[in-house]
Amino acid sequence: MNSFGQSFRSTIFGESHGPSVGITFDGVPAGLPINEDDFVIDIERRKGGLQKGTTPRKEDDKPIFITGVFNNKTTGAPLTILFENKNTRSGDYEKQRAIPRPGHADFVAHEKYGGFEDFRGGGHFSGRLTVCLVAAGVVAKKLLPGITITAYITEVGGEKDVENGLQKAIDAKDSVGGIVECHVTGVPSGLGEPFFNSVESLISHAAFSIPAIKGIEFGAGFKAATMFGSDHNDAIDTASGHTVTNHAGGVVGGISNGNDIIFRVVVKPTSSTPKEQESWNWDTQTVEKFSVKGRHDLCIALRVPPVLEAITAMVIADLMQLAQKLPRIYNS
């Protein structure tokens, strides 16, 4: 399934080394002002090549509006945005084709799609597609005045100091993972559609769609298992439901309780590591030693914060529309 959301619905498409990647939205109100400049900040935050530990592949990442925009305002029809792929080096992948990279989607994609999958740059499984999620976040955030969504790195390679975490990986000539935390303020109470579309379920569903995310916890998260109930419970101290502590992470019974929504995701170490590994060779039908050549993120977590904010904005916008707290026509 390449679509997500019920009312604010996004459909993602494209491959890392195809002509472009893109996204189509349904449920964007008509009349919403939109132009290229709106996308610059978040897209720059996600870009590789700018900071140490990120892929040297550089793309313009300029949004191209294909449908749904007229005179710099949304029309209410499906909104389609493309991002071109220009800086591809597919030869790296042709050479490695016989050996599926452990930890990447090469083997499972080959099994599922019978070898017809576009394997160049990880194809449809590439982190490249997260530029489209960031675009979705820019559109969704426009629909959420008064709500702030902020994600940041809390750990790299088990170190609170990002530089130390990165240096460990550089010294080991290997890749490294990390933890990214997200805080959402200004969310009204009452969002979430139990049983199955609870706030936690939808945020988790969307978060696990980001390649390389392997875990998530809300509020006190896994630490809750070590606490007494009386410590974990968040005492309510106002009529609006404000709580003194926030071990619940702003969600109880799958419904937002008006406090900050707080969650953390685990980003695994990049599978395409320069370190020598072993994998099955489809041509020779043996296990072989090899090391991944090409351009890769040493630490994917460095690039995840704007992507995590984006999927959160998509979920909140969808839930707000379902709760009819968002207009169908944008008049301000």
Ligand X SMILES: Cc1cc2nc3c(=O)[nH]c(=O)nc-3n(C[C@H](O)[C@H](O)[C@H](O)COP(=O)(O)O)c2cc1C
How far is CA 261 from each of CA 61, 64, 187, rounded to the nearest angstrom? 30, 32, 8
Q: Which 93-152 residues touch ligand X, going by CB under 6 A?
A: 104-105, 122, 125-127, 130
Residue 105: which of ligand X, ligand EPS, none does it interact with, CB under 5 to 8 A by kind?
ligand X
Q: Which of 4, 46, 61, 2 lies closest to 318 in space, CA to CA?
A: 4
State yes or no: residue 272 binds ligand X (CB under 6 A): yes
Q: Least Å distance between CB 212 and ligand X?
A: 4
Place of tokens 């003194």: 244
SS3 193: strand
Nearer to ligand X, 76 or 122 (CB): 122
- Judged by phi (left if over 0) then psi (alpha if -120 to 50, else beta), residue 61 lies in left
SS3 43: helix
268 is in an annotated binding site: yes
Binding mask 189-228 for ligand X (x = CB under 6 A): ---------------------xxx----------------
Stretch that binds ligand X, among 162-170, 199-207, 275-283, 295-303 (CB under 6 A): 295-303
Using CB atoms within 10 Å of the CB of residue 86, give its burial: 0 to 12 exposed, 13 to 18 middle, 19+ buried. Answer: exposed
State yes or no: residue 47 binds ligand X (CB under 6 A): no
272 is in an annotated binding site: yes
- Determine the Cα–Cα distance for residues 113 and 77; give it in Å rounded to an integer: 33
128 is in an annotated binding site: no
Residue 131: which of ligand EPS, ligand X, none does it interact with, CB under 5 to 8 A by kind?
ligand EPS
Does a cis peptide bond (omega within 30 degrees of 0) precede residue 195?
yes
Q: Least Å distance between CB 268 and ligand X?
A: 6
124 is in an annotated binding site: yes
Which residues of the chain form contacts with ligand EPS (CB under 6 A)?
16, 48, 55, 57, 59, 88, 92, 121-122, 126-128, 131, 211, 294-296
How far is CA 33 from each of CA 40, 132, 146, 324, rounded to the nearest angstrom? 15, 19, 17, 21
Q: Least Å distance between CB 128 and ligand EPS?
A: 4
Which residues does residue 251 pair with via DSSP β-bridges, in sequence order? Answer: 256
Q: Least Å distance between CB 296 and ligand X?
A: 4
Cite the annotated binding site for FMN by residue number.
124-126, 253, 268-272, 295
